[in-house]
Structure 1
Amino acid sequence: MSNDTSGTVPGSVYIYEPNRAASIFFAAAFLASGLFHVWQCLWYHHWKVTALLPFSCALLTAAFATRAYGAFNHYDDAQVYTASTLLMYMSPPLLQLSNFLLLARLFHFVPYFSPMHPSRMLVTFASLAAVIELLTIAGTAYLTNRDLPDKSLRVGDTLAKAALVVQLLVAGLFFLLAGIFHRCCRAGGIRTPRVTYPLVAAYGSMVLLVGRTVYRMVEHFGSPLLSTRVLAEEPLSLGPAVRYEWYFYVFDAALVLLAVVVWNVVHPGRFLPEDPRRYLAQDGVTVLTGPEWKDSRSLTETFFDPFAMLTTRGGHQKQFWEHNGYALGAARRGAGTTRRT
């Protein structure tokens, strides 16, 4: 990959000559992963939890295909550059949300160890994902328009940085909730691969996405202003993470690709039921069908009070699993090994 930051094509929106082969490779890789995800969703009938995975792969395939188009002598096309950049920035928040969908299904599957109601968690983090996407779109639109005044470019830079900070905070909350849930499962003797494998895969996927977010934060916070104007006019004022293309492919593209491939290897459909009414009994073996863990509170109440600390109207559903005839630790005592629905 080119490391030349001083001799780019005149009028180019890139600080380097973008590598064509790398763009084509990642476009093909994300396409292959996305098609495999579609096949897995069809095979396991598991669209509700994993539909965002093929959708994110489609966005990333388009992003790198657009980047490849720009690499073939379209260096001065700002619209191509904007489209490619926007698609790349939009996908990681959706992958984060996909991990929360998986975590919510785990909470449905082992409801007695859930640190919060899964529906409330999804409303909260889907809202945060929407905020991240809005900040990303607005920030990218400003930074890739070199005709805007400096004040507008600084606004775009602030929005882009805010989106990255929120992504990091969201990842931290994921690890907090998943860690509490995981610890409770281990303490309660719930160590079935149906729970541990998806949970470990979610950890791995989120760690990879955090690595990508940290790289982008170093890129944005370590350089004066990441706009197409600065890229063209003051390339030597930028840090190495921006000036050399291999940083992007190693710490962004490759990490995001691994984050989606993890779910190709450990697809949730192999371990978790599609139906949220199906849950694991306290013996850690038996799978039962319950009434589903619902929350009758309004979306507004859920958004502003996800832990039901301020209001309790409909927020604490009867814990139906307490009367299913099973008790924690039964599997370890050799009882309750018969499966029933």
Structure 2
Amino acid sequence: MGPDTEKAESLYLYNPSHVLPAVFAGVVGASLLLHIYQNCRYRFWRVTFFICWGGALFTTGWILRCISSYHPTNLNVYIASQVFIYVGPPVYSAAAYNIVGRLMNYLPMHAVLNPNRVLIFFVYVGAAVEAVTVAGAAKNASAGSDLDQYKSGGTLVAVGLILQAIVESFVIAIVATVHTRCSRAQMLAPNVQMLCFTLYGTSTFVLLRCICRAVESFDMFGNLGCRKNCGPILSNEWYLYAFELGPMLIFTWWMNLLHPGRYLPRQKQRYLSPDGRTERMGPGWIDRRSRWETFADPLDLKGVLKGIVSHEEYWLLENRWPVCKDGSFATGTATNMTVTGNDKELASLSPHA
């Protein structure tokens, strides 16, 4: 097989780099290992598990990309690399959704929706987005000369990216609402402010990645079936590293440098009192509605319209809930790295005490 034939049969529109995928697989993998260490250190697995899962998927994608660069005509490896690279970022985003939920558990008086339904709500939406994206990436990668399949795959990818961008915009709006309410109530403690800025930043990078990838997908429609001179986005490898890898690399390392386990309590029943300094161990979020109603109306729009909230405002009864004796995350005197008496305190509390 001559070089011209090899080039014609290549699944890439350029000569893929062998070195860059290997280097960045190592960088993403190093961040994954550090996340695992920090989750163990702060015992924060329930909140940030998805960072590790997303890191594992994303690292696998770049390893497969490296293998695919040596075998540019191997369709199976190419499809696998495309799929894993596409699915990693939405899973990373699920970690941010979980952090938003835990932040609202910490600040229940400023919660926009039921904190215990945030992850479930966004994960269901994210699962739908991911299913669309994976289906599109697989169809697009395996289309070959089938222009209809190529177009339908690109359409699915673009739809998935647009939906992801909408979800990220909604997350930013929720964080901004909590941030504003805390500021007005003079409860903007340093840890709350740091978490809000972290969530703004990471969600913005996911949003940037979605926009750039959507532009790439739309560019496919104008160049259906091309194998050369396909425009700068499809014909240059550096776009992939700049707009797919770059934002998510910053996302994962940002979460490592400012790990939420340093700023939020492990127990979701632990909340910040209205004085902005003291933390108490409360009963947790208590919604008077049925479980199905909280799923159907997570924003409690019915209660808003009636002017009657559907949850218990337990933070108004300060004296009923014990003060946490191990310090406060708001003042930087508490940590998740040690087992404290508050764990026993929590076990002794009744949700309706």
- Please state which band the TM-score falls in when normalised by the shorter chain: 0.7 to 0.9
AA paired with 1:318?
E
Does 2:272 correspond to 1:280?
Answer: yes
Partner of 1:205: 202
Partner of 1:184: 181
1:8–1:17 Cα contact (<8 Å) kept: no
Cα deviation for residue 118 of structure 1 reads: 1.2
TM-score for both structures, normalised by structure 1:
0.87
TM-score for both structures, normalised by structure 2:
0.84
AA paired with 1:252?
E
Partner of 1:290: 282
Taking a change above 3 Å as real, the CA distance of residues 174 and 297 of structure 1, as seen in their structure-2 partners, is: same
AA paired with 2:62?
F
Taking a change above 3 Å as real, the CA distance of residues 50 and 226 of structure 1, as seen in their structure-2 partners, is: farther
- Of residues 224, 229, 234, the one that matches 2:227 is 234
Taking a change above 3 Å as real, the CA distance of residues 7 and 150 of structure 1, as seen in their structure-2 partners, is: closer
Partner of 2:41: 43
- Cα distance in 2 for residues equivalent to 1:167 and 1:299: 26
- Cα distance in 1 for residues equivalent to 2:196 and 2:223: 36
- Cα distance in 2 for residues equivalent to 1:235 and 1:59: 31
- Of residues 3, 22, 25, the one that matches 1:24 is 22
AA paired with 1:321?
W
- Of residues 90, 108, 127, the one that matches 1:93 is 90
**Could you say which structure has the greater relative contact order, defined with CA pairs below 8 angstroms and 6 or more residues apart?**
1
Aligned residues, how many? 319
Cα deviation for residue 86 of structure 1 reads: 0.5
Q: Which moved more, 1:296-305 or 1:285-294?
A: 296-305
AA paired with 1:55?
W
Does 2:223 correspond to 1:223?
Answer: no
1:195–1:271 Cα contact (<8 Å) kept: yes
Q: Alignment identity in percent?
A: 29
RMSD between aligned residues = 2.6
- Unmatched 5+ stretches in structure 1: 1-5, 327-336
- Cα distance in 1 for residues equivalent to 2:301 and 2:17: 53
- Cα distance in 1 for residues equivalent to 2:212 and 2:28: 20
CA deviation profile, 1:35-70 (whole Å, cap 9, x unmatched): 000000000011111111111111111100000011
Taking a change above 3 Å as real, the CA distance of residues 106 and 318 of structure 1, as seen in their structure-2 partners, is: same
- Cα distance in 1 for residues equivalent to 2:96 and 2:16: 31
Cα deviation for residue 145 of structure 1 reads: 1.4
2:35–2:52 Cα contact (<8 Å) kept: yes
- Cα distance in 2 for residues equivalent to 1:297 and 1:45: 31
